[in-house]
Amino acid sequence: MNLDNRELPFYRVDRWIEHIMIQLKEGVYWVGAVDWDIRNFHGYITHRGTTYNSYLLVSDKIALVDTVKAPFYDTMLRHIKEIVDPAKIDYIISNHAEPDHSGSLARFHKEEAPQAEIIATAHGEKIIKKYYGEIPITTTREMSDVKLGGKTLKFVPVPMAHWPDSMVSYIPEDKLLLSNDAFGQHIASAGRFNDQVDQDELGQEALTYYANILMPLGRSVGRALKALEGVDIDMIAPSHGVIWRKDIGDIMAKYVSWVAGETKEKVVIAYDSMWQSTQNMAYAIAEGIGSEGVDCKVFNLTARHRSDVMAAIQEANAVLVGSPTLNNNIFPPVASFLAYMRGLKPMNKFGAGFGSYGWAGGAKKLVEEQMHLAGIEIMECDIDTAFKPTDDEWQAAYDFGVKVAKKIKE
């Protein structure tokens, strides 16, 4: 079905068309793709898949905002063709050049819409050309908004939320923010809107997304939120996951809290173990923390993915990392987690390393060095046991847990 809305106004779109199309606002359509199967998004485990959201704005002029990851090109094209002939698209907006959003841009422009003017930030122009070769691009320095007739697309650069090129597009007539990576979640779902999915899953995935994508960029995200202060928004359409059309104040408030690094009375223990000694220490510390009524989550780093651990760390006060010593070094699953956490730079945490060794030791000190480099304030801790913990050493680990909990409650 090929429908050009410039010939058939919105109010005449028949019921069948309304049924198959996802319309956010009058003349604003979702034309993206759902990726039900992805489980690794550049090192982040995506338990529930994701979506690549493209949006088509149809007014006197027509604009496509963002495209989809390259393997989903045909899906995007089919959705676009259900609404308009791509040869009639006037603009292609690239809010962000990472390939999950730009992967279909060059091909779509070349094969279907060579007449369309591509608009990106100056950084976006460089990145798109590096990825896809020479393509004519108008930068937002030259064009800070686009008038479609009845709709205006205003471009707001939000550098480093997620890459230097990142921007958001705002449509004042619709109070609609096309926020690209910000406010995203990695969820594949049949429903496209936030009131159509399980609320607990949505809350968890929004948090996990922030922790693993935006945590180290909190200042930039904070500047982006500042830039949007006073802007009248009643719908936020990110480029991953569901569109926020209900209770958008709640997700805005969560972002304000995450950007500020607000924490709860909660401890995360991340550990791995060779012969259960470090595991016994981890469990003893957790018991001590629990005895003081403070919440504690324990993650074995072979059994659990680092990105799930980081989601728990986002709102925790304290982080404790345990490692056995292997060849005078940190046990590799723990070393991998520490490298990941160091890149994400969690805010407002204190913590300590603990562990076990046979004869030479060394892992605990190295763990604490990495935690310090991740920005975690290190508290004194001497939980480091040779071979198997004695009853006294088990008790010392329990007592250390009590001390951590009391420090949280100070």
| 233 to 272: interface string for ligand FEO, x by CB under 6 A | ------xx--------------------------------
Q: Is there binding between residue 181 and ligand FEO (CB under 6 A)?
A: yes
Q: Is there binding between residue 186 and ligand FEO (CB under 6 A)?
A: no
Q: Is there binding between residue 205 and ligand FEO (CB under 6 A)?
A: no
* Coil, strand or helix at 23: strand
Q: Is there binding between residue 101 and ligand FEO (CB under 6 A)?
A: yes
In angstroms, the CA 286 to CA 119 distance is 53
Q: How many residues are recorded in the chain?
A: 410
Which of 35, 66, 98, 272 is the binder for ligand FEO (CB under 6 A)? Answer: 98
User: Residue 120: which of 136, 103, 99, 133 has the closest Cα?
Assistant: 136
Q: Is 240 a catalytic residue?
A: yes
What amino acid is encoded at 108 in this protein?
A: F
Stretch that binds ligand FEO, among 95-103, 136-144, 199-207, 380-388 (CB under 6 A): 95-103
In angstroms, the CA 31 to CA 80 distance is 6
- Please identify the residue of the shown chain whose CB is closest to the bound ligand FEO: 98
Stretch 288-317 residues interacting with ligand FEO (CB under 6 A): none
Name which of 189 and 239 has its Cβ closer to ligand FEO.
Answer: 239
Name which of 97 and 319 has its Cβ closer to ligand FEO.
Answer: 97
Name which of 163 and 394 has its Cβ closer to ligand FEO.
Answer: 163
User: Residue 113: which of 90, 141, 81, 133 has the closest Cα?
Assistant: 90
Q: Is 372 a catalytic residue?
A: no
Q: Is 19 a catalytic residue?
A: no
User: 144-152: long-range contacts (C-beta < 8 A, 24 or more apart)?
Assistant: 146/61, 146/63, 146/91, 146/93, 146/119, 147/61, 148/57, 148/59, 148/60, 148/61, 148/62, 148/63, 148/90, 149/59, 149/60, 149/61, 150/27, 150/59, 150/60, 151/27, 151/28, 151/57, 151/59
Stretch that binds ligand FEO, among 97-105, 134-142, 330-338, 341-349 (CB under 6 A): 97-105
In angstroms, the CA 350 to CA 371 distance is 9
Q: Is there binding between residue 35 and ligand FEO (CB under 6 A)?
A: no
What amino acid is encoded at 22 in this protein?
A: I
Name which of 184 and 353 has its Cβ closer to ligand FEO.
Answer: 184
Stretch that binds ligand FEO, among 76-84, 98-106, 118-126, 322-330 (CB under 6 A): 98-106
* Per-residue DSSP letter, 50: E
Q: Give the nearest distance from C-beta 184 to ligand FEO in angstroms.
A: 7
Which of 100, 205, 272, 384 is the binder for ligand FEO (CB under 6 A)? Answer: 100
Residue of 11, 42, 200, 392 marked catalytic: 42
Name which of 98 and 125 has its Cβ closer to ligand FEO.
Answer: 98
Q: Give the nearest distance from C-beta 209 to ligand FEO in angstroms.
A: 10
Specify which residues 65 forms β-bridges with.
Answer: 55, 93
Q: Is 123 a catalytic residue?
A: no
Q: Is 305 a catalytic residue?
A: no
Q: Give the nearest distance from C-beta 61 to ligand FEO in angstroms.
A: 26
Q: Give the nearest distance from C-beta 163 to ligand FEO in angstroms.
A: 6
**Dihedrals φ, ψ of 10, to 5°?**
-55, -45
Residue of 79, 96, 101, 109 marked catalytic: 96
Q: Is there binding between residue 123 and ligand FEO (CB under 6 A)?
A: no
- Dihedral over Cα of 385, 391, 397, 403: its sign: negative
Q: Is there binding between residue 96 and ligand FEO (CB under 6 A)?
A: yes
**Contact, 59 vs 150, CB < 8 A?**
yes
Specify which residues 119 forms β-bridges with.
Answer: 93, 138
Residue of 101, 109, 186, 240 marked catalytic: 240
Q: Is there binding between residue 79 and ligand FEO (CB under 6 A)?
A: no
**Contact, 242 vs 194, CB < 8 A?**
yes
Burial pattern 343-360, b for ≥16 Cβ within 10 A else e, equals ebebbebbbbbbbbbeee
Q: Give the nearest distance from C-beta 42 to ligand FEO in angstroms.
A: 9
Name which of 131 and 163 has its Cβ closer to ligand FEO.
Answer: 163
Burial pattern 204-219, b for ≥16 Cβ within 10 A else e, equals bbbbbbbbbbbbbbbe
Element (H, E) at 384: strand 384-386
**Dihedrals φ, ψ of 347, to 5°?**
-100, 150
Q: Is 47 a catalytic residue?
A: no
Residue of 35, 66, 100, 112 marked catalytic: 100
Which residues participate in catalysis according to the annotation?
Answer: 42, 96, 98, 100, 162, 181, 209, 240
The residue ranges that bind ligand FEO (CB under 6 A) are: 96, 98, 100-101, 162-163, 181, 239-240
